[in-house]
Amino acid sequence: MITRDLDAFFAFARGVEADFGPATPRAAFLVAPDGFARAGQSATDNVYMADAAAFDAQRASLQHRDLQRAISPVLPTLCFAGDPATPDAVFPNNVFGCAPGRYVVGRMRHPVRQREAARADIRAFFHDVLGRAEVDLSGQPHACELTGSLVIDRARGLGYCGLSERCDEDGARLMHAAFGLRATLLFDLAPGEYHANVVLAVLAGRAAVVCPRGFADPAVPAAIAGIHAPHAITCNADEHAAFVGNCIALSAETVWMSASAAKALAPSRRQVLEEAGFRVESVALDAIEAGGGSLRCCIGEVF
């Protein structure tokens, strides 16, 4: 099923067992912020991106190493070298994604990011080292920026796909098939939003974080929060702006977000996560966040 119909989707979702696959990744991969700088093309539809003067490549590199060091005890984490010709490559989950037995290459909207999909070393890692079959969407015309646009409940095989300039309906259908999902809900992001994973997180199938202002139709975040109640967080404007919605569960016990997000997270909402069985972990990533994304955007998942 792939639909915009809230009633149909959630009627189906309520009957789905959490038996689709592992709820959290087996490993993670990063791409180093070598040559990290403001990408003018990406800035045209990413309102979170800072001005060029706010970019500090050295600080971004140090914080990125801190991120790898912090999450490595939780799951194996490797880091590919960056490339100054691809200044957004620090956010690889938009370009490369995993499903059992295969890996998916997305089709990026902007040419500066389309270069990332051509990385022979990352493709070889998945195909030659891990033995995964390739599903290559990068050459077709429909934008589909993988788990930036598509938030996946891996435990149930459910997708939540936010449509914007970065993903159209045809691209969403291609991703739905590529990841082999049981059902995907399509919805429009609010004007100015570029990726669903900035305003929505589904955490190990047990909890959800939603930022209602990021959705064009307020009924959508309400319905997503409702199906995850009582373990659903509805973010206020400050939490939204601080990237609380850009968090990720990297194990059954841990939810990770940037230090800025953790600072903005209200105690009552932290308690909701704790009641769902999660410990909040954080890493300072303010230099990375100048690029318009946060912790979850940096992490490619291996399932």
Per residue in 1-55, pLDDT tens?
999 999 999 999 999 999 999 999 999 999 999 988 788 788 788 888 888 888 8
Q: Which residue has the tokens 């646009």?
A: 149
How many C-alpha atoms does 87 have within 13 Å on its Cβ side? 18
Q: Per residue in 95-128, is it b (16+ CB within 10 Å) or e — as a string?
A: bbbbbeebbbbbbbbbebbbbbbebeebbebbee
What is the share, in percent, of the chain residues with pLDDT greater than 90? 90
pLDDT in tens, 201-242: 999 999 999 999 999 999 999 999 999 999 999 999 999 999
Identify the CA nearest to 252 among candidates 18, 2, 52. 18
Alpha carbon distance 125, 15 (integer Å): 37
CATH fold label, 2-302: L-arginine/glycine Amidinotransferase; Chain A (3.75.10)
Predicted model pTM: 0.95
Mean pLDDT value across the chain: 96
Q: What's the pLDDT at 20? A: 97
> Which residues have a Cβ under 8 Å from the Cβ of 52 and sit 6 or more positions away?
37, 38
Please count the helices (runs of H) and the strands (runs of E) in the chain: 13, 16
Report CA-CA distances (Å) from 259 to 128, 151, 255, 285.
36, 22, 12, 7
Give the lowest-confidence range in 34-48, 88-102, 187-201: 34-48
Examine the pLDDT at 80 and tell me if it is beyond 80. Answer: yes
Domain residues of the chain, as ranges? Answer: 2-302
Mean pLDDT of 60-82: 97
